[in-house]
Structure formats: structure tokens, C-alpha cells
Chain A
Amino acid sequence: MWLYERNLQFPVNIKNPNPALAKVIISQLGGPDGECGAALRYLSQRYSMPYREVSGILTDVGTEELAHIEIVSTILYQLTQGMTIDDIKKSGFDTYFVDHTAGIYPQAASGVPFSADTLQSTGDVITDLNEDLAAEQKARTTYDNILRLADDPDVREPIKFLRAREIVHYQRFAEALGIAQERSECKTNYYITNPSFDIDCSVASNNCTQDSINRTTSTSNQSSARSYKTRSDRPY
């Protein structure tokens, strides 16, 4: 569960409305590499992680991403307060305004609504952590592009903070990947099991060969709901 703190993680105080800027920054709310996707990605992936430290970093980074949703939304809210109809028409904000007025709606800068199509959760610790590493770099690139487009220091400061967080998260996810690879019983092939599905990964991965999987299959508990039977159909 979560407990709300009545404070932003980083202060946002924008004095001048700028709907044109809001129109691009909104991608970091509901765009392909935005904060909504980040929070949902990590908070969805954490359940099936085979190592508690990895679940821990996903929980805590995912929680921080919720605070980043709030910072980006606050930037959007403050950039769109006190706009005139003339501002809206001239800035190109009219295409957003017609559907959402000055409400905060998670969408990409292109207008595509937020979609879970932008993220993945596979139950596979190696796959998911590589997805997370890529996600942090993609978000960093988007913040770089926002910094190329934004002049207002009131906007740049919180964006620079958010950009720096992507780099820290990347570092922590890289360490988590290291933990997962190191702790895998099978050093030469840690791709051999998907811990969200395969039972007793440690047994299956003791020997990294097809033979060992076959042996494990024949001796495993057949009454288990997660039967190894399905594994014999796998390409490896």
C-alpha cells in the first residue's frame, strides 16, 4: 500500500503560462517513455522477481516514479493556468484543449493516449531488467529533448532533476541485473528458466543443458500446477 505525502519531491513554481511547452512536456506524463509507463512497468514487474533485492529496487523506484508523475503533472498544470484563448490558438494547444480543456490527461505529445503497449512485464528477471535499463535511458533522452526545447528556468530546474533521477535509476537497475546474474545457479546460462513460471529454478539450472531439463522434467512433482511438462516444448 502507499501513503501520500503532501509535498512535491522537487519544487515547481512556474510564473509564466506556456501552453506550447506543456504540449511537448506532456510526453513525459503519458508518452512512450513517460512517468506513467515507468511507474506501471516497475510496480507490475516486482511481483515475479526471484530475488528480494530486485523486488525492492522495483518497488522503491516504482514508488519514486509516482512522485515523478506528480512533478510532471504539476509542471503541466502550472504551464496551462491563466492562458487566454489567443494563447491557446497561437501555441497549437487548441488540439489538446478541444478534448481536455486545461485538465491533465496522460498522453504523448503526438496526442496518442497513454497505453500499456509502451511497457513489458515478462516474469523473466533478465528480460525485465534489460527493459528497465532501456526505459531509463529512453526517458533520459526525452528529458534531454525537453531541455533543448525549454528556455524557462522555472521549467528547466525540475526537468533537470527528473533527468538526473533517470541516470541514478539506471545505475541501480544495472546493479540489480548484476545481482540476478551472480545469484543464478547457472552462471553460463541464466536464461534457462523463467522464475515466474518454472518451479524450482535452482534444480533446473544446476546443469545448463537440455539433458538436465529433461531429467528434471521426469523427476519433478507432477501434481504441481506449474508442471514442467510445458517446458519440454520450449526451443532450448
Chain B
Amino acid sequence: MNKSDNSNRKAMLKAIQIASFSVVETTLYLDTHPFDQEALSALIQYTAEKQAAVEAYEEAYGPITVCSFYSPLYNNIKNNASVCNCNKAFSWATEPWPWENDYC
């Protein structure tokens, strides 16, 4: 992966981190304020933002959760020979892990 591609990948991971943080923070708040309508609406919005950020990343760089490895979206992209000439592999196991330097 070249440098500019990696910085794009990191930017997309950052977008997931931002949306994920909003989801986590709002969830903790709702645990002790389960009837707060404003927070409930916010959680719905943040969850959609996270979902969109995860899907955009997975489409370009591979699965965030092992569940998405065989999701239709990911499958269409990575198993389509016109998009990817690489051999099929279980990239969940072969891609970098989050603790590696310059991952995120």
C-alpha cells in the first residue's frame, strides 16, 4: 500500500472512530437516561453515520468486523475479477492489525 493510499485509509478509519465515539458516548448516556428523546434521535443519527463510514471503508480496504467479510457489499467488490486481480484470500487474517504502527 503506497503512502497516499495509506493516508486515505487512515482518514476513513478516523471517520469511523469519530462516528463510533458518538455512538458509544450516546449509548452510555442513554443507559442511565433511557427515555431521553433527543439522545435517542442522536443515537439513530450517529449509528447511521457509523454504518456509512464502515461501509465506505470496507468497500475500499476490507472488513472492519469478521461478519462483513462475506457481506454482499464486500463480496461484490473483492470477488469481482474486474476490480481485483488478486487471489482470493481470507483478508481478515492477512490485513494489518490496529496495533501496528501507522494503522490508524
Q: Chain A residues in contact with chain B, CB under 8 A?
A: 3-14, 53, 56-57, 60-61, 64, 70, 73-74, 77-78, 81, 168-169, 172, 175-176, 179
Contact = CB atoms under 8 A, between A and B. Distances in A.
Interface of chain A, main secondary structure: helix
Given A3-B67, A4-B66, A9-B20, A56 B102 contact: no
B99 A57 contact: no
Nearest to B104: A11
Contacts, number: 78
A172 B99 contact: no
A52 to B, nearest CB: 9
Contacts of B27: 60
Nearest to B92: A6
A8 B17 contact: yes
B104 A70 contact: no
Nearest to B103: A8
B2 interface: no
Interface stretch (B28-36, B41-49, B78-86): B28-36
Contacts of B13: 7, 11
Given A4-B66, A57-B32, A64 B24 contact: yes
Given A7-B17, A7-B98, A78-B99, 14 more contacts: A4-B65, A4-B66, A6-B64, A6-B92, A7-B20, A7-B64, A10-B17, A11-B17, A11-B104, A60-B24, A60-B31, A61-B28, A70-B98, A176-B32
B16 A53 contact: no
A60 B28 contact: yes
- Counting chain A CB atoms within 10 Å of each CB, the highest count among B65, B98, B103 belongs to B98
B28 A168 contact: yes
B21 interface: yes
B21 A6 contact: no
A6 B98 contact: yes
B102 A13 contact: yes
Complex A-B, nearest 9 residue pairs according to Cβ-Cβ distance, in ascending order: A175-B32, A74-B99, A57-B31, A56-B31, A11-B104, A8-B98, A172-B28, A6-B64, A77-B99
Contacts of B65: 3-6
A15 to B, nearest CB: 8
A49 B38 CA distance: 27
Contacts of B95: 6
Contact of B31 (A3, A14, A53): A53
Contact of B28 (A3, A5, A10, A57): A57
A53 B34 contact: yes
A164 to B, nearest CB: 11
B17 A9 contact: yes
A176 B95 CA distance: 40
B5 interface: no
